[in-house]
Structure 1
Amino acid sequence: MGDAFDLDRDEREQVKEFEKPPTSVIYEAIRRQGEHELSRTASALWWSGVVAGIAISTSVLGKGFLTAVMPEAGWASVVSNFGYCAGFLIVILGRMQLFTENTITPILPLFLDPTAEKFLKIGRLWGIVFLANMAGCLVAALVISHGRIIPPDRLDGVLEISRHFAEASTFEHFSRGIPAGFMIAALVWILPRMTGAGETLIIIILTYMIALGDLSHVVAGATELFVVMFHGEISVWQTVFAGILPALAGNVLGGTGIFAALTYAQVRQEI
């Protein structure tokens, strides 16, 4: 007769998971998510990315609408920047494909097992998701600019914040993209330990900080740049090469080059 306190296989695995250091548990949760993302079909990644690009544009609308109704005062931006959280809540809670989340999620499996196959899979994932996000942002910006679905006074607020974003120099988009990429990667790292209201709260706090700091998030920022482009105020070249690509490089450096590398260094002895 077996010992009454013997554990079956599943129970032993649960005990092992419980005994692991918290950081390695988080690492493992994100690594598994990354493996899943790398195995998804191109069609699933594409359409999830397009929807995410459209949905993230509600961040631009939220901030623009609040800007339109706020008085001319120094404290007004403290309130209007809360509107920026809207799109991120939809995309992250809706589990859509946002490029900046993927600066850490598929990278952790690569750090653990750096093979040519994984490099190619990450390149495929990044390429599909980024282009899908841009396609979604382009569609959203076109509708915002010429769809006549937004009252003129509210559209003025959207144009105001979009012009402000477009005024940043190429280097500013790059340098401001680094902390934005770091914060989104930190958000992805924290979320596996959060549930319910805590998950929502951490998304609001970190995305609000991106808006308040006037940082450059390549996907949300692309919608702003496309809006200004569709109003004929900047060229396609300026939109892509002076705005989107520098912000992309900054986000990747902040998310992958800094946050993902540092978190792996933190847990590599424990995994």
Structure 2
Amino acid sequence: MSTVEPPSLTLPAGERDHSRGPADAPVTLVQYGDFECPHCGDIYPVIRRIQNRVGTRLRLIFRHFPLTQQHPHAQQAAEAAEAAGAQGDAEFWRMHDRLYEHQNALTDEDLEEHAEVLGLDTGRFVQELNEGVHEDRVDEDRLSGARSGVNGTPTLFINGERYDGPLEFESLLTAIAEAGDLVDIQRSMDLDNRELRETIDRSRRGAPAAGAAVRDQFSADEIFQRVTATADEDIDRSVRLLFFSGLAAGLSLGATFFGRAVMTTAYPNDPIGLGNIFYPLGFIFIVLGGYQLYTENTLTPVTLVLTRLASIPRLLRLWGIVAVANVAGVTIIALLFARTGIFNAAVAETARGFGEHALSISWSALFFRAMIAGGLVATMVWLTHAAREATARFLIVYMIMFLIPAGDLFHCITGACEVLYLAFVGGTDLVTAFVDFFIPVVLGNTIGGIAFVALVNYSMTAERRFSDRDRLQRELDWSEWLLGSYADRLLSEREGESGPTKSD
């Protein structure tokens, strides 16, 4: 009985290929990939982790195999990587990394934005994309893959032989170690000698999924890593994604406004404050839904600024986009309730009273109450990153956010909905609402949250880097940190000639 041998690589690795690692490395890993393929996105951090582990003994080669019928943006993304590579092989890898880290942003507009962020010659980049300059190169890769038996992505070849094992860190690392006779790696993979940390799954951004000492409990450093991973993703989103996520958050707070008004009207004299039980509702939608809310999502990127992995202007960009989107969302909600007659007379009067109460408080009192609320929100953010289950996050959000109306504290976006409603029913004007309420509460929420992040979260942690993700990152210098540039976070990812080939 004959057995079918797995296909071998028909086109050997050569000078035409984009490669990371020295040409004389004992192991060559050839990947046929698709930038829109979710499985390729999953294997991307695995391969980067293996590169960090094996170092200069591994040469990685990437070839295009866009599955155009399933992934409409894959062909253009592949040509975009080649257009970047035409400006230097290091630029190909920077674009390669960015495309896999932003698989939800592969439209023509997104690709141009990626080129701008990476500091490429954008005019040349766009012209080459429009003219299909690199279409033949991508087709050559696809054809070579087809001749080697590639029919899906990702497909890997180790030293010319197809790898058909699990696309997981340990399995792939074991195969690479065997192919290159990497004795030290093979020994480290032995179950008796493997450190506990190697058995713990990590997210694509490097955040731990389980604690080191106790798997269901994180240390302060591990929580900080999870917070920073969230921040890294948030600060790197496109303007469009930030805006619409922020708009969704603002609209979600309509549930808070509606529920609180209805329940307060139904139980006007209740000493417990049953009206406040619906206040956390919108925040639960936002946290569990992953929307962008000023103070909730926008506080986590402060950690990147504190560690000088992002600049102050980049942080302010995020804050500005999200704040504008949030206010746009609650403005729509306030207009809807004020002008459509959804509220009956009693509920409308209660809703009006929320805004009148907010504007009756002095500027300084609003500021200090908002500071306390900002600290509570920052606490909620910290604790939700310490939780591993959705039920635990639900309870954390509910209990902490309930304290805001119960303590007569103020959140800038929910409060904006209340005072905007008052303005739209003729109880005040927009200038008064902005100057006498929104400004002090925004300042208080922001300062209170930053103080918690800076003085508590940041100060109580000892390690402020991810061993895998930040190995290739550098801190911004003080001018970049203060003034910002295209560099910001991405400058710290610039690998040049040596980055990808550095060993542990």
Please confirm whether the aligned pair reaches a TM-score higher than 0.5, indicating the same fold: yes
> Match of 2:295, SS?
helix
Q: Distance in 1 between matches of 2:320 and 2:427?
A: 28
Superposition pairs for residues 67-146 of structure 1, below 5 Å?
A: 67-73=264-270, 75-77=271-273, 79-113=274-308, 118-146=311-339
Q: 1:33 to 1:265 in 2, by over 3 A?
A: same
Structure-1-length-normalised TM-score:
0.90
Q: Distance in 1 between matches of 2:295 and 2:289?
A: 15
Q: Which AA in structure 1 matches 2:278?
A: G
CA offsets per residue over residues 205-248 of structure 1, 9 Å max, x none? 00100110010100000000101111222122211111001100
2:398 is aligned with 1:204: yes
Select 1:190's aligned residue among 352, 371, 383: 383
Contact 2:378/2:452, CA 8 A, preserved across alignment: no
Q: Which AA in structure 1 matches 2:198?
A: E
Q: Which AA in structure 1 matches 2:352?
A: L
| More deviation, 208-217/228-237 | 228-237
Greater share of helix residues, 1 or 2?
A: 1
Partner of residue 479, structure 2? none
Q: Distance in 2 between matches of 1:238 and 1:257?
A: 28
Contact 1:26/1:192, CA 8 A, preserved across alignment: yes
CA shift, 1:258, in A, is 3.5
CA offsets per residue over residues 170-208 of structure 1, 9 Å max, x none? 112211100100000100000022213211111110010
CA shift, 1:270, in A, is 7.1
Q: Distance in 1 between matches of 2:393 and 2:353?
A: 31
2:149 is aligned with 1:149: no
Q: Distance in 1 between matches of 2:328 and 2:377?
A: 21
CA offsets per residue over residues 101-143 of structure 1, 9 Å max, x none? 13421011111126xx521211110000001111111111011
**% identity of equivalent residues:** 25
Partner of residue 192, structure 2? 5
Contact 1:178/1:254, CA 8 A, preserved across alignment: yes
CA shift, 1:168, in A, is 1.6
Q: Which AA in structure 1 matches 2:330?
A: C
Q: Distance in 2 between matches of 1:49 and 1:14?
A: 30
Partner of residue 424, structure 2? 230
Contact 1:81/1:211, CA 8 A, preserved across alignment: yes
Q: Which AA in structure 1 matches 2:304?
A: P
CA shift, 1:10, in A, is 7.9
Select 2:373's aligned residue among 169, 173, 180: 180
Partner of residue 212, structure 2? 19
Relative contact order (alpha carbons < 8 A, sep ≥ 6): 1 or 2 greater? 1
Contact 1:66/1:157, CA 8 A, preserved across alignment: no
> Match of 2:300, SS?
coil
Larger Rg: 1 or 2? 2
Q: 1:136 to 1:270 in 2, by over 3 A?
A: closer
CA offsets per residue over residues 51-75 of structure 1, 9 Å max, x none? 11111122121111111111435x0
> Match of 2:279, SS?
helix
**Runs of 4+ deviating beyond 6 Å:** none
- How many equivalent residue pairs? 267
> Match of 1:234, SS?
coil
Contact 1:166/1:224, CA 8 A, preserved across alignment: no
| More deviation, 257-266/126-135 | 257-266
Greater share of strand residues, 1 or 2?
A: 2
Q: 1:269 to 1:11 in 2, by over 3 A?
A: closer
CA offsets per residue over residues 36-88 of structure 1, 9 Å max, x none? 11110000000111111111122121111111111435x052x2111211111
Contact 1:181/1:250, CA 8 A, preserved across alignment: yes
CA shift, 1:144, in A, is 0.8
Q: Distance in 2 between matches of 1:23 and 1:111?
A: 16
Q: Which AA in structure 2 matches 1:42?
A: V
Q: Distance in 2 between matches of 1:94 and 1:105?
A: 17
Q: Distance in 2 between matches of 1:155 and 1:94?
A: 29
- Structure 2: runs of 5+ lacking an equivalent: 1-185, 203-207, 466-504
CA shift, 1:14, in A, is 5.5
Q: 1:172 to 1:135 in 2, by over 3 A?
A: same
Q: Distance in 2 between matches of 1:141 and 1:4?
A: 60
| More deviation, 97-106/131-140 | 97-106
Q: Which AA in structure 1 matches 2:279?
A: Y
Q: Distance in 2 between matches of 1:23 and 1:259?
A: 12
CA shift, 1:261, in A, is 3.1
Q: Which AA in structure 1 matches 2:421?
A: V
- Structure 1: runs of 5+ lacking an equivalent: none
Q: Which AA in structure 2 matches 1:248?
A: V
Q: Distance in 2 between matches of 1:19 and 1:69?
A: 49
Structure-2-length-normalised TM-score:
0.50
Q: Distance in 2 between matches of 1:88 and 1:218?
A: 13
> Match of 1:72, SS?
coil
Q: Distance in 2 between matches of 1:209 and 1:93?
A: 19
